[in-house]
Amino acid sequence: MPHTVTAKIAVIIQPNASQNRLVSFQNGVWRLKIAAPPVEGKANRELIAFLSGLLRISKSQLTIEKGFTSSHKLVTISGLSQRQVDSLLQKTLG
């Protein structure tokens, strides 16, 4: 059985932003602004859609493992290594 490569990222999201944006990386946590409101899972779905675009992977490869109702979340990414994820997100930060 092949081992699936996975990565995990800690994120803090600020919902109701004017646009989706990767803001910073500090102390091992990615800060993001998400345009969707934090109601009925909208911000979570928007976060997954935004990250899938940044990482160029399908939304099904992303899972919110912890923090469904919190601004602090743990996201698992399947199919990419931690190094690949960190590198892609760092490039987005500029």
**Residue 65: CATH number of its domain:** 3.30.1200.10
- Domain extent for 79: 6-93
| Residue 14 placed within a domain | yes
| Residue 75 placed within a domain | yes
Residues recorded for the chain: 94
The neighbouring-strand residues paired with 72 are 12
From first to last of its 94 residues, the chain has per-residue pLDDT tens of 556 899 999 999 999 999 999 999 999 999 999 999 999 999 999 999 999 999 999 999 999 999 999 999 999 999 999 999 999 999 998 7
| Residue 58 placed within a domain | yes
| Residue 1 placed within a domain | no
Which residues lie closer than 8 Å to 69 by C-beta, 6 or more apart? Answer: none
Q: Which residue has the tokens 């500090």?
A: 26
Number of domains in the chain: 1
